[in-house]
Amino acid sequence: MEMSKEVKVSVPEIYGSLVFGDRVMKERLPKETYKALHQAIEEGRSLDLNVANTVAAIMKNWAIEHGATHFTHWFQPMTGFTAEKHDSFISPMPNGTALMEFSGKELVKGEPDASSFPSGGIRATFEARGYTAWDPSSPAFVKDGTLYIPTAFCAYGGQALDKKTPLLKSMEVLNREAVRMLHLLGLPEVKRVDVSLGSEQEYFLVDKTLYKQRKDLLFTGRTLLGAAAPKGQEMEDHYFGVLKPRIAAFMHDLDTELWKLGVPAKTKHNEVAPAQYELAPIFENINIAVDHNQLVMEIMKKVADRHDFACLLHEKPFERINGSGKHNNWSMCTDTGINLLDPGDTPMENLAFLVFLTATIAAVDKYADALRCAVATAGNDHRLGANEAPPAVISIFVGTELEHVLTSLINGTPLESAENSVMKFGAHVLPAFHKDNTDRNRTSPFAFTGNKFEFRMPGSALSCADPNIVLNTAVAEMLSEMNAKLMDVEPEDIEDTVRPLLKNMLMEHQRIIFNGNGYTDEWLEEAKKRGLPNLPSVPDAMPSLISEKNLALFTKHRIFTAEELNARYAIRLENYSKTIHIEALTLQDMVRKDFTPALFRYMCTLETEILQKRAVLPDLPSTLEEHILQHMSSVAEAIGIRIEKMEDDLRKAESIGDALSCARFYHDVVLADMDALREEVDIAEADIPDSELPYPTYAKLLSSAI
C-alpha cells in the first residue's frame, strides 16, 4: 500500500519564517540601528533616514534570501480590502547586469497614483498623488516572491485615505488617556497601554467548479436565488462536528501558510450552518491583529482555491441558514502585564478594573450609534437582526457575577459573594474545576467574556479596523472626561473620589446593560423604552456617523477631521448603493438570460409530453403534467411582472442625486423588488429538474465541500 504523502511540518521551524520580525531584526541589524528602530516604534516617532537606509538594505537581503524579487507598500484603502503595487529591486548596470537595490527612502515612503481609490470627494482624479508611509510597528513579510511592507495611505493634502491611519491614531489616544488614568490611580510604573484584539473569522467553503457556475457568487459573493435545500441546519449536527478529510486538509494547509507569516492561528472548527467554518487566532496587539486578519481572509481564499474550493467571506451567502460574522475580542493591557479588563479575585478592590470597565460601558452606551455605523454594510444588513446574529440594537452583557459588582458599586453595598463556583460533573473520574465567572451569552452584541469584551456585530468581510477605531476613541473619551475630574485630586483622596464618579457614570449608562435573550421581540420593545438606538440598515445608521456628537468625538481626538469623516460617510453610502445596484443587475442577468430560458425549456418539455400523449393515446389523462404546466405558467407571468418592476426602479435609482436618498431607495425599493422576484424564481426552481437548471442548487452547493 502506498504510504501517505503528507509532509510533517515542524511548527517552531516554520512559524514566522517569512516575517522580518523582532528575532530577525535583533539577529541582523547593527545594535544601534535595532535600538533606534525600537525606540521610534515605542515612542511613536518617525525614523531617521540613516537608520532607514540600514534597515532597508538588511531587509532587502533577507527578503531576497526568502525568494523575493519585488517589494510592495501594502495598504488598506477604504475599499475594505488591501492594495499592493509591486516594484522589483533591480537596478540595471551599464554592462548589462543588474544590481538588487532598495533604499531607506523606498522603504519609508511610496507615491502610488491614488486617483482610483475611494476618497469620498477629498481628491479629484486630476490630483492623483497619494503617499504611503511605512508602519514599522507591523512587521514586513515575504509572500509569493514579494516583500510586503505594511503602510498607511494618505492624500497629497495629508488627509487619511485608509483604515490604518485612524486606527493608529485611536490607539495612541487610548494609550495616552489610559496611562494618565493609571498614573492617577497610583500606578506610575505603567508606561504604555496597548489594545489587544483576537478576531474570530467565520467563512463558508463550496466546491470551486460549482461556485464558478453561479454568477451571483462570482459577482456579488452571495446567492441571489435558490430554493432551500431539503436539509439545512435544523439538525444542529454541523457545529463542532468531525472535520471531513477534504476540509481537514484545507485547514491544515491554511494553518501552515498562516504560521509561516507569523499569524497565530489557534482554533478551527465546523460552524452552525452546513459548509460553514471558523478560524480563531490568539490575540495580539491590535494594529498587527488587524493586518493579520486581512492576511487570514486573503490566505483563506488562496488556499481554498488550491484545494478546489471557493471560500465565501460574505456575511450572508445563503438565505435561510446562518450568515458569517467576525467576533471582535477586545481588551487593554499595560506594559507591566496587567489586563485592565481582568477582574481578578477581588474585583471590588481592583480599582483599575472598575474604572476601565465603567469607561467601556459608558463609551458603548454613549457612542452606540457610531459603533453600529462602523459595522453597517450591505452584506451585514442581511445578518444583524436575523435570528442567528445579534440584533441591530447594541447592548452589553456582563453576566451575573459582574452584575453583582456593578450593583454594589451603584448602591455602595458590599459584594455578595458568589455561590459555589466549583464545577462538578458528577462522575468522580472527571476533574473538578472552577467555573468561569461569566456564562456565555451568544445573543448579546457586546459581551463581557471573563477578561475582555467580545463585539459580535462585525460582519465576516469587514476590516477589523472599522469597529476598533470607534471603540478605542470612545473609551479614550470617557477616560479623558474622568481624568479631567481627577486631575487635581490629592493621591490619598483618589479612591474616595473615583467610587462616586463610577457610581454616577454607571447610573447614567446602565440602560445599555442587558443580560437576557437579545433575539426576542420583547427585548426590542424594552430597548426602545430605554432609548437605545435601533438602526436596522445602512441608510438608517449612516446619518449618525456625522452627527454633532460623533463629529465632536472624532475631531476632538484628531482621529478624523470633519472633511475626512464626511468623506467616509459619502464612501459608505456610495458603496452601499453600488453593491445593491450590482446585485440587482446580476439578478436581472441570471433571471433573463439563464433562468427564464430554462423555465421555458421545461415548459416546452411538458407541452410536448402532453401533446405526444394525446396523439398516441387520446384517452390517457395528463393531469400532473397539466398541473405543473399551469403552475409554471403562472409563476412565469409573475416573474415577468416583478422583473419589469425591478428594472423600472433601477432606472429611477440611477437618477437620484443625493447619496442618502439614493441609499434609502435602494434599501426600501430595489432590495424589496429583488426579494419579490426571487420569491417567484425560487418557487419555480423547486419544481424544475436539477438537470434543467442553469446553476447548481443550494442542496448541491451546501453539500459540495466534503
**Binding residues for Mg ion (CB under 5 A):** 200, 327
Among 162, 200, 257, 685, binds ligand ADP (CB under 6 A): 200
Tell which one of 196, 472, 550, 596 touches ligand ADP (CB under 6 A): 196
Query: What is the phi/psi pair of residue 298, to 5°?
Result: -70, -45
If binding is defined by CB under 6 A, does position 267 make contact with ligand ADP?
Answer: yes
By CB atoms closer than 10 A (0-12, 13-18, 19+), residue 284 is: buried
Q: Given the rule CB under 6 A, which of 21-29, 274-282, 431-439, 601-609 is the region that contacts ligand ADP?
A: 274-282
Smaller CB distance to Mg ion: residue 329 or 704?
Answer: 329
Q: Nearer Cβ to ligand ADP, position 196 or 473?
A: 196
Residue 172's H or E segment, with its range, is: helix 164-184
**Which residues are registered as beta bridge partners of 280?**
267
Considering CB distances under 5 to 8 angstroms, the limit depending on partner class, which of ligand ADP, Mg ion, none binds residue 20? none
Shortest Å, Cβ 280 to ligand ADP? 4
Member of 166, 281, 323, 390 binding ligand ADP (CB under 6 A): 281
Q: Which stretch binds ligand ADP (CB under 6 A): 4-12, 190-198, 241-249, 389-397?
A: 190-198
| Part in contact with ligand ADP (CB under 6 A); list of ranges 424-432, 450-458, 607-615, 617-625 | 450-458
Q: Could you give the residue ranges of the DSSP H alpha helices within 6-159?
A: 11-14, 22-28, 31-43, 49-65, 104-108
CA torsion 650→653→655→657, rounded to 10°? -160
The nearest distance, CB 232 to ligand ADP, in angstroms, is 22
Q: Which does 137 bind (CB under 5 to 8 A by kind): ligand ADP, Mg ion, none?
A: none
Minimum CB distance to ligand ADP, residue 342 (Å): 8
Number of amino acids touching ligand ADP (CB under 6 A)? 17
Residue 132, interface with ligand ADP (CB under 6 A)? no
Q: How far apart are CA 15 and CA 555, in angstroms?
A: 41
| Burial (Cβ within 10 Å: 0-12, 13-18, ≥19) of residue 11 | exposed
The reply to whether 169 sits near ligand ADP by the rule CB under 6 A is: no
- CB of residue 438 vs Mg ion: minimum separation in angstroms? 13
- What is the smallest separation between the CB atom of 246 and ligand ADP, expressed in angstroms? 24
Q: Does 329 contact ligand ADP by CB under 6 A?
A: yes
Q: How far apart are CA 624 and CA 59, in angstroms?
A: 73
What lies within 8 Å, CB to CB, of 470 at 6+ separation is 170, 367, 370, 371, 373, 374
Q: Where are the alpha helices (DSSP H) in 283-336?
A: 286-306
For residue 242, the minimal CB distance to ligand ADP (Å) is 18
| CB of 179 or CB of 197, closer to ligand ADP | 197
State which H helix or E strand residue 99 sits in.
strand 98-100
* Close Cβ partners of 185 (under 8 Å, ≥ 6 residues apart): 351, 352, 355, 494, 498
**Of positions 56, 83, 197, 205, contacts ligand ADP by CB under 6 A:** 197
Q: Please answer whether residues 447 and 313 qualify as being in contact, where contact means their C-beta atoms are separated by less than 8 angstroms.
A: no
Cα separation, 428 vs 435, in Å, equals: 17
Of 329 and 460, nearer to ligand ADP (C-beta) is 329
For residue 441, state whether it binds ligand ADP (rule: CB under 6 A): no
The answer to whether residue 198 forms part of the interface with ligand ADP (CB under 6 A) is: yes
192 in Cβ contact with 179 (< 8 Å): yes
Q: Which stretch binds ligand ADP (CB under 6 A): 61-69, 281-289, 529-537, 642-650?
A: 281-289
Q: What is the DSSP string of 36-59?
A: HHHHHHHHTPPPPHHHHHHHHHHH
Q: How many CB atoms lie within 10 A of CB 217?
A: 25
Beta-bridged to residue 270, according to DSSP, are 277
Q: Which does 130 bind (CB under 5 to 8 A by kind): ligand ADP, Mg ion, none?
A: none
CB of 282: closest distance to Mg ion in angstroms?
14
Residue 169: name its binding partner from ligand ADP, Mg ion, none (Cβ under 5 to 8 Å by kind): none
Q: 531-534 long-range CB contacts below 8 Å, 24 or more apart?
A: 532/368, 532/393, 532/394, 532/395, 533/368, 533/369, 533/372, 533/393, 533/394, 534/391, 534/392, 534/393
- Judge whether 332 and 175 are in contact, CB under 8 Å: no
Of 110 and 399, the one with the shorter C-beta distance to ligand ADP is 399
Tell whether residue 194 is a contact of ligand ADP (CB under 6 A). Answer: no
In angstroms, rounded to a whole number, what is the distance separating the alpha carbons of residues 207 and 228? 18
Name the minimum Å distance from CB 332 to ligand ADP. 8
If one asks whether residue 283 binds ligand ADP (CB under 6 A), the answer comes out as yes
Binding flag, residue 336, ligand ADP (CB under 6 A): no
Rounded (10°) angle between helices 494-509 and 465-486: 130
Binding to ligand ADP by residue 399, rule CB under 6 A? Answer: no
| Closer Cβ to ligand ADP, 452 or 557, answer by number | 452
Q: How far is the CB of 684 from ligand ADP (least distance, A)?
A: 40
- Quickly count: other Cβ atoms within 10 Å of residue 255's Cβ: 19
User: Which one, of 36, 340, 290, 294, lies nearest residue 168 by Cα?
Assistant: 290
Q: Minimum Å distance from CB 282 to ligand ADP?
A: 5
The single residue among 238, 307, 382, 452 that binds ligand ADP, judged by CB under 6 A, is 452
- With CB under 6 A as the contact rule, which of the stretches 171-179, 197-205, 418-426, 431-439 interacts with ligand ADP? 197-205
Residue 284 CB, shortest distance to ligand ADP, in Å, is 8
* Single-letter residue type at 137: S
As measured in angstroms, the least distance from the Cβ of 465 to ligand ADP is 15
Candidates 322-330, 376-384, 625-633, 659-667: pick the segment binding ligand ADP (CB under 6 A). Answer: 322-330
Nearer to Mg ion, 200 or 564 (CB): 200
Tell me, rounded to whole angstroms, the distance of Cα 327 from its chain centroid. 8
Site for ligand ADP in 243-262 (CB under 6 A): none
- Name which position in 276, 331, 395, 460 contacts ligand ADP (CB under 6 A): 331
Shortest distance (Å) from residue 578 CB to ligand ADP: 33
Specify the residue, 200 or 685, whose C-beta has the smaller distance to Mg ion.
Answer: 200
C-alpha cell at 405: 459588582
- Which is nearer to Mg ion, 278 or 477 (by Cβ)? 278
Q: Which of 291, 265, 264 is nearest to 135 (CA)?
A: 291
Which residues form the interface with ligand ADP (CB under 6 A)?
196-198, 200, 267, 280-283, 327, 329-331, 339, 451-452, 454
